[in-house]
Amino acid sequence: MYDKVVQSAEYIKNRLKLSPEIAIVLGSGLGDLVDSLTETEIINYEDIPHFPQSTVAGHAGRLVIGKLKGKSVLIMQGRFHFFEGYSMKEVTYPVFVMKLLGISNLILTNACGGIKESFSPGTLMLIEDFINLMPSNPLIGVNDERFGPRFPDMTEPYNLELLQVARNAAEKLSIPYGEGVYAGFQGPYYETAAEIRMIRNHGADAVGMSTVPETIAANYLGMKVLGIACITNMATGIQKVKHSHERVIEIAKKASSDLSLLINAVVEEMK
Ligand code: HPA
């Protein structure tokens, strides 16, 4: 895999004028941030050697690179989910490429269901920690020490300094936010009410189908991660109506402008 990642990274480097230092993965419906970039360059996933290809119709599937608050950033518009049938290595392949591009800070965003009582649709939750309930993870298999250690530490999956930068930014901008633990399910069905009761009792504050694999890979690779989850609905059994993907996207789109403001402010403060 190492050689493939090198080839993907070389292709991207050769196409770009900028050399990005920060990467941002945008979750479903959370695309506004792209409009904040200047000196924008775009690379479609399909053009990058060895890069996984998007399956979902209407999902962008591209890297958008540009300047944000004076820093060079790389945005992933469209991520790969385990429930789509990708292997964990494919889901996290872009994170490995980011590492070889020299990126050391990763901001992961997503749309998810809220469990904590104080949350409501539209709340942005800064992720403190995760619970991996997916049946696998991206580090399974023979380890390549060029990427990272066999037994990586997960004491601080979300970097405490970045978390503080995000809190300060949210407060300065008066953006309401919460904090909590994100539980990652495989999906693609929305969890049962019993599953939500179980994970609530185990300390989960939000639930979704992404973010955890990328967090694991980034920590393994020695990158600092900030996670921002957009609560688009309350989890099964907490909200009294059935889930709808359309509603999830509608709420995410509404929250997208706050998220964009927040990320602008975070990037500005990042070292
Ligand atoms: N569960 C899992 N994933 C989700 C949810 C949810 O309630 N809402 C948005 N993504």
Q: Say if ligand 1 is within 6 A of residue 48 CB.
A: no
The percent of residues above 70 in pLDDT, for the chain, comes to 98
| Beta-strand runs (E) in the chain | 22-26, 38-44, 62-68, 71-77, 105-114, 124-132, 177-184, 206-208, 224-234
Query: Which segment of 41-55, 57-71, 111-125, 255-269 scores lowest on mean pLDDT?
Result: 57-71
CATH of domain 2-137+149-269: 3.40.50.1580
Q: Can you give the residue ranges of every domain in the chain?
A: 2-137+149-269
Nearest atom in ligand 1 to 243's CA: 7
| pLDDT tens, residue by residue, 9-45 | 999 999 999 999 999 999 988 888 999 999 999 999 9
Q: CA-to-CA distance for 72 and 62, rounded, in angstroms?
A: 17
| Burial of residue 252 (number of CB atoms within 10 Å: 0-12, 13-18, 19+) | buried
Would you say the CB of residue 119 lies under 6 angstroms from ligand 1?
A: no
pLDDT tens digit sequence for 155-175: 999 999 999 999 999 999 999
Q: Residue 184 pLDDT more than 60?
A: yes
How many angstroms does the Cα of residue 187 sit away from the middle of ligand 1? Answer: 9
Mean pLDDT for the stretch of residues 127-150: 98
Instruction: Please report which confidence band the pLDDT of residue 148 belongs to, taking 50, 70 and 90 as the band edges.
Output: very high
Residue type, 147: F
Strand partners, 230: 111, 124
Q: Tens digit of pLDDT for each residue in 49-107?
A: 999 987 665 566 999 999 999 999 999 999 999 999 999 999 999 999 999 999 999 99
Backbone angles phi, psi at 49, to 5 degrees: -55, 135
Whether 208 is in the pocket of ligand 1, judged by its Cβ within 6 Å, is: yes
